[in-house]
Amino acid sequence: MDKNTAVLALIRQRKERHALPRALYSDPDVYRQDLEQIWHKEWIFAGHTFELEKPGQYLTLQIGDYPIAVVRGGDGQVRAFHNACRHRGSKVCTESSGKVAKLVCPYHKWTFDLDGKLLFAGNMGPEFNAADYGLKPAHCQVVNSYIYVCVADQAPDFTRFRDAVSPFITPHNLDDCKVAFESNLVERGNWKLVFENNRECYHCDGTHPELLNSFVENLSVAGVGGEEDPELVAHWNRCEAAGLPSRLVMDEAGQFRMTRIPLSAGAVSYTMDGKPAVAGRLDRSGEADIGALLYFNYPSTWNHFLGDHALSFRVLPQGPNETLVTTKWLVPKDAKEGIDYDIERLTKVWIATNDQDRRLVENSQAGVSSPAYEPGPYSSIAENGVCQFVDWYCATMTDRLAD
């Protein structure tokens, strides 16, 4: 059996509404297929346009096998490049972010313009044609400040996602904000365990005391529906009347979903007392209590938008058992630290929550790696979201591996 067929067989082994078989969380051949069939093919969330305000600002990330640099050009355009020098392959941008006049490779100083063109290469002789050695571009799209990158030769359609997500985010003034704080957490667990854990709140009670000051453990919320929940429907109606798209939209293929949820009574933000963390508003509704807009886009991001701030989460696999989770706390651009917000108050809940989730993921990785592990059943009440994620993963992989 070749490796693709073996991975396909594992996916076909999965019992409906059950967790995945052990090898899918730990086997290096499966991880390779996850990269080739998903991470190297899909649009991956890289960062925000407001992190690259000025020409020459860049950020870097690793999408599976591909180091990527995202750069704001002299013409104001944001572009993604393969961060591999066209000489002997060195990374050109070696920091996680920075600002440069030109992109200079640290090895032999080949110098590229901000649009990727090779401007200078010393001692290459008269035959050398610099025009042949520009940095290779990767696909790059922006929707409401979210920069997405795709390393495939042919990127999948982006329009469907853009058209669906944009009306939800537009009223949140994302173009007018900044990163107040960023955390980078390496979780010793497979990327699928990270996303599965995010797609349920079955674990919230008993794990997330800080988050539960404002997050309601409404079992249908983290899931896939909502029309049957009168409180949720009332919240959608009130927010929509104030101009905020809120009603759940689920992608046909199950890859992305938006929905706006109410927080617990009296709470408007993810703080210890439920009160705002930031003076000033990110959204333009004029409503004090808009709850939280949630959006995920598999495989790389989930997000929360509140009235006073927003949180973006980026998931990047680093190995079969290792995942980088980057969290950014977004506040209005003109908000002043120490006056309009306090970093410790702003970040306390999700720093604690992320760390608690990290531990859950690491415990799961340890358990599912045991030869004695047997996939158990999902709760039909509290784990519909996890099931939805795993179904999307299995359907996507089956489709591509069976081709």
Q: What is the spatial distance between Cα 125 and Cα 95, in angstroms, rounded to a whole number? A: 31
Shortest Å, Cβ 85 to ligand FES: 3
Shortest Å, Cβ 115 to ligand FES: 18
Taking alpha carbons only, the member of 348, 218, 206 closest to residue 275 is 348
| Look-up of token digits 């035959």 | 127
Binding residues among 94-113 for ligand FES as defined by CB under 6 A: 105, 107-110
Taking alpha carbons only, the member of 361, 23, 367, 363 closest to residue 195 is 361
Residue sitting closest to Fe ion (CB)? 357
- Token pair for residue 294? 């949630």
The total of other beta-carbon atoms located within 10 Å of residue 128's CB is: 12
The long-range contacts involving 378-381, CB below 8 angstroms and separated by at least 24 positions, are 378/17, 378/18, 378/19, 379/202, 380/17, 381/219
267 touches ligand 3BY by CB under 6 A:
no
DSSP secondary structure letter of residue 282:
S
Shortest Å, Cβ 26 to Fe ion: 22
247 touches ligand FES by CB under 6 A:
no
Number of chain positions touching ligand 3BY (CB under 6 A): 7
Q: Which residue number, 94 or 379, has a Cβ lying nearer to ligand FES?
A: 94
Q: Which residue number, 229 or 357, has a Cβ lying nearer to Fe ion?
A: 357
Shortest Å, Cβ 200 to ligand 3BY: 6
For 89, phi and psi rounded to 5 degrees? 90, -5
Residues in the site for Fe ion, rule: CB under 5 A? 357
3 touches ligand FES by CB under 6 A:
no
Q: Which residue number, 83 or 173, has a Cβ lying nearer to ligand FES?
A: 83
198 touches ligand 3BY by CB under 6 A:
yes
201 touches ligand 3BY by CB under 6 A:
yes
Strand partners, 140: 149
Report the partner that residue 107 touches, choosing among ligand FES, Fe ion, ligand 3BY, none (CB closer than 5 to 8 A by kind): ligand FES
